[in-house]
Structure 1
C-alpha cells in the first residue's frame, strides 16, 4: 500500500513539474531586420547586414528585394549573392544570428550622388519573423544621418553577453556598425606624430618593463608571474594603459629615437589570469624612419622575430597580433567611427584606492579623431525636448571614457539609466543626441546586444 501511495505521489509530482514547464513563458519571437534604415556608400563596396534576435537551429532562407533609382543592375552595380528579378536570396546558416550581402560599384562608373537602392525584406522562413527595420535605403554617396535606432551586435558565437567577444564600432553619421573580435590583436602602434604603442585593454592585457635592452637576454627568471596579474581585485593601474585614452600614460614608454633607451617588456595577453610562461611574450619596439620595428619572442626563446610597422594616417593605430606575427584589421578608418562598445579593462575602488577591473558594456569615444561627449540629465531637459539651442549649456569631454559605464546599472535595479542621455560631437562638428534603450533581460534587452537611438541635433559646417 505504501508503494502505491509513493508511486501516486511521484506521478503527481512529475505531472506538476511538467505543468510548470508548460507554464514557463516561451522565448520571444526571433525577428529579422536590417541593422539600420539608411546607409551611405563610400568606396567600391559596401556590406548590408540582416540581423536576427538570436541564432537559428537550422538554415533559414530570407528574401530581399531591391529597387534601383537612377541605376541599372549589372551596369552601375552588382550584388553578392547575385540578384534574380531584383530579388536576393539569402540563407542564415544554422547556429548563426545573421547574414549579409554585398553591393559593389562597377569599375570606372561615374555617378552624380543622387543614385540609390531601396532594399526590403520580403519573406522570412518560419519560425523567424520579419522585424521592424525591414526597409533600408542605400545612397550612393556619403550621408549625414538624421539618426536611427540600432542594436549593436557584440555576440560572436555562443559566449555569454557579459563577456561579448566583439568590440563594436559605430559611426553615427553613416549608421554603420562594425563588430570585430576584440582578441584579434595585442599591440596598437600609433599613426600620429608621436611614437606610442598601446596594449589591448579589451582583453585585459598587462605588461611590465624589464631594465634590459637586449631582448634575447630576458627570460621568465626576470619576472614574478603574479606581478602581471590584473583584474578581479589584483594588480596595479601601472600595468595597464590609461582608461581615458591618454597616450602619455601607456605602460610602454614613448619609443625613443635612441635605440638603447627602448627597453624590453613582458606582455601577458589576457587579464584575469597570468598565462603560463610558454604563452608569455617579450617585446621591444624601435623607431624605423617614420614607423616602427617590433622585436618579439616567447619569453624563454633565445632568438627573436621582427616586424616592421608603417604608420597610416587614415587610421588611429596599426594593430599587431603577436601570435600571427602580422598586422591585423581592428578599428575602422579613423573618420568612420565615433563610439566603441564592449568589454574592457577599466578601474574600480574597493576601499584601498583605484585598481584595474574588467567591465562589460563600456562605451568609449574616438578620442584621436576629436570626438567628444557630454552627459545630459533629464531633470534639466528631456531627450525629446533637447534641441540645438540647448547645446551651449552642455559640457563636452575629450576623454574617451566620457560615457564609460555611466549609462547603465548592473546592481540594484539593473538596466539602462533613464535619467540621462548623451551628446556626441563628431570630428566633422555634427552633434547627435543619443540614449540607450536596453542592454539586459531586466530591462527587456539582450546582454551583449544593446539597443540605442540617436538623432541629429546640429549638422556640422
Structure 2
C-alpha cells in the first residue's frame, strides 16, 4: 500500500512539475519612458521631436499623458506642440504594434530667446498594462547643449529591413529626426557648386536625354527605360545613380551650367511603383536654381525656384508637394541611419547599384569625421581622451556604413551587431564621442527598424 501511495505521489508531483514547465513565464513590465532626459534646441532649429520608448510593442493603441512645465516661454505664442496641449497637458498615443511614440515642440515665428528658456516634460499617466519607467521626466532647453552621452532607440519605423524612415542623429543635443524615405525626390546643393541629387534612400535612378526642352519630350523618348533604369538585385549600372561615396562632383545629374542650353532633360525613375516617372530640367536662377518638371506624358510643365541655403547641405523637393523639409541644418546632425543605394561588387572590376538596409552615413559635407576602432586595440569602456591622438579619423561618409552589423546574407550565418568594434565620431564643433551599436534585430535582443545606440562624450570641443 505504501508503494502505491508513493507511486501516486510521484505521478502527482511529476504532473504538477510538467504543468509548470508548459506554462509561459510572465512577461516583464512594459515600461514607458523618455528616450533621453535632456535635449537641446539650437537657435537655427524650428522644432524638436521628443521621443517616448516602451519596453516592447503594445497590443492596442495606448494613450500616454504628458505634463508641460515651461520656464521663461509661453505656450501658444512662443511655442506650440504637435499634438496640441490643453492646460499644459498633451496626449501621445502609441499605435498598436509599436513600441515608440513622439511629439513635437514648434517654435513661434520670429522668436527671439536668450537661451535660458526650457520646458520640463513629465509622464503624468499611462494606460495599463503600460507602466511608468525610470526616465519619466525630460527637459528641452532652448539653447545648444553638449551631451555627455546617452542611449537612443532610433525611430526607423515599420517595415523591418525596409524601414520607412531615415533617421538623422545629433549626438551633442541628444536629438534624432526621423523622416519618411519616400517624402522627397530631389535635393539641391547649398554649397558653391550647382548640383542636384536624386533619392538614393528609395533606389531612385536617372538618365539624361539629348533634348533640352521638356515640351519636346514624350513617352516615345523613354522607350526601353523601364528596363534600363531599374537597379538592385544585379540590375542597373553605376552611371544611373549618384556617387555612392558621396562625392558631390559626381552626381548622376551633371553640374547645372550657367549656359541654359547645356542643361539637358533627365528622366527620373522614382524607385517606387507608388510614384509616376518624371521628366525634369534644372537651370540656374541667379545664385539658386529653377526646376522644370512634369510627368512623362504631360505636354506642359511646372516650375519651382529653389534658393541655396548655406545652413543646409541640401534643399529638398517632392514632385507632388514642392519644397519639403528633410535633413536638419548641417550643424545639427552627425550620422544618418537609413536604407541607401550603395554598390555590390560582382568582380574586382564590376560593381552594380544595390540597396542596403541599416546603413549608417556620417555628415561628411557638414564637417563630421569618424573612425572605426576594434576592441582588440582598445575596448569601448577603456577608450579615453588619451586615445584620440592615435585615432585615424576619416571624412569618408561610409566609414561606418554596414560594417557595424551582420545580416546573415543569402547563405545565412550570424545576424546581429558586431561586438568587436565601435566608432569614434568627431562633429563639426570638435566634440568627440565614442559610439557603439547595442542591437538591431530579434537575434541580438532588438527590433529591426529600431536599432539602439549608446554614446559617450570623450572630449568636448573648444
TM-score (norm 1): 0.85
**Cα 1:232–1:141, aligned 2, differ >3 Å: closer, same or farther?**
same
How do residues 213-232 of structure 1 correspond to structure 2 at under 5 angstroms? 213-223=212-222, 224=224, 225-232=226-233
CA distance in 1, matches of 2:76, 2:185: 43
Q: 1:151 maps to what in 2?
A: 153
1:292 aligns with 2:289: yes
Deviations 1:214-266 (A, max 9, x none): 22222332331211010011111111111211011110000001111111111
Q: CA deviation at 1:458?
A: 1.2
User: How many residue pairs align between the two structures?
Assistant: 431
- 1:304–1:339 CA distance, 2 compared to 1 (3 A): same
Q: What residue number does 1:119 align with?
A: 121
Is 1:393 paired with 2:396? Answer: no
Classify the secondary structure of the residue corresponding to 1:448: coil
Q: Distance in 1 between matches of 2:318 and 2:49?
A: 25
Query: How far does residue 279 in structure 1 lie from its aligned partner after superposition?
Result: 2.1
Alpha-carbon distance between aligned partners in 1 of 2:440 and 2:75, rounded to the nearest angstrom = 41
Looking at structure 2, the residues matched to 32 and 198 of structure 1 have their Cα atoms a distance apart, in angstroms, of 39
Report the Cα distance in structure 1 between the residues aligned to 2:282 and 2:276, rounded to whole angstroms.
19
Residues 32-431 of structure 1: pairs in structure 2 closer than 5 A: 32-43=32-43, 46-53=48-55, 56-65=58-67, 71=72, 80=81, 81-82=84-85, 84=87, 88-92=89-93, 94-95=95-96, 97-100=100-103, 102=105, 111=114, 113=116, 116-155=118-157, 159-223=158-222, 224=224, 225-270=226-271, 279-324=276-321, 326-351=322-347, 353-411=350-408, 412-431=413-432
The CA RMSD measured in Å over matched residues stands at 2.9
Does the CA-based 8 Å contact 1:61-1:89 persist in structure 2?
A: no
Deviating more after overlay: 91-100 vs 179-188: 91-100
Q: Aligned equivalents of 1:249 and 1:106: distance in 2?
A: 38
Aligned-residue offset at 1:90:
2.0
Long gaps (5+) in structure 2: 1-18
CA distance in 2, matches of 1:107, 1:251: 38
> Shift in Å at residue 350 of structure 1?
3.4
Check 1:74–1:197 CA distance in 2 against 1; reply closer, same or farther (3 A cut). closer
For residues 386 and 264 of structure 1, do their structure 2 counterparts lie closer, same or farther at Cα, with a shift above 3 Å needed?
same
Deviations, residues 249-296 of structure 1 (Å, cap 9, x unaligned): 11000000111111111110016xxx59x9221111111110111111
Structure 2 length normalisation: TM-score?
0.85
Matched residue, 2:6: none
- Could you tell me which runs of 5 or more consecutive residues in structure 1 were left unpaired when the two chains were aligned: 1-18
Alpha-carbon separation, structure 1, partners of 2:279 and 2:111: 48
**Whole-Å separation in 2 of the counterparts to 1:318 and 1:440:** 33
* Whole-angstrom CA distance in 2 between matches of 1:306 and 1:76: 35
C-alpha deviation, 1:83, in angstroms: 6.5
Q: 1:344 to 1:29 in 2, by over 3 A?
A: farther
Distance 1:446 1:218, change over 3 A: same
Q: Partners of 1:147 and 1:136 in 2: how far apart?
A: 15
Aligned counterpart, 1:6: none
Distance in 1 (CA, whole Å) between partners of 2:232 and 2:379 is 37
CA distance in 1, matches of 2:418, 2:359: 14
Does structure 1 conserve the Cα–Cα contact (< 8 Å) formed by 2:385 and 2:459? yes
Q: Deviations over 1:332-381 (max 9, x none)?
A: 11111111101111111234721111111000111111111110000000
Partners of 2:110 and 2:302 lie apart in 1 by: 40
Alignment deviations for residues 309-335 of structure 1 (CA, whole Å, 9 cap, x no partner): 1111121111111133x1111111111
Which range moves more in the overlay, 314-323 or 170-179? 314-323
CA distance in 1, matches of 2:112, 2:290: 40
Between the aligned partners of 1:454 and 1:102, the Cα distance in structure 2 is 24
In structure 2, relative to structure 1, the CA distance for the partners of 1:302 and 1:73 (3 Å cut) is closer
CA distance in 2, matches of 1:279, 1:188: 18
Please give the alpha-carbon distance, in whole angstroms, between the structure 2 residues aligned to 1:265 and 1:335.
32
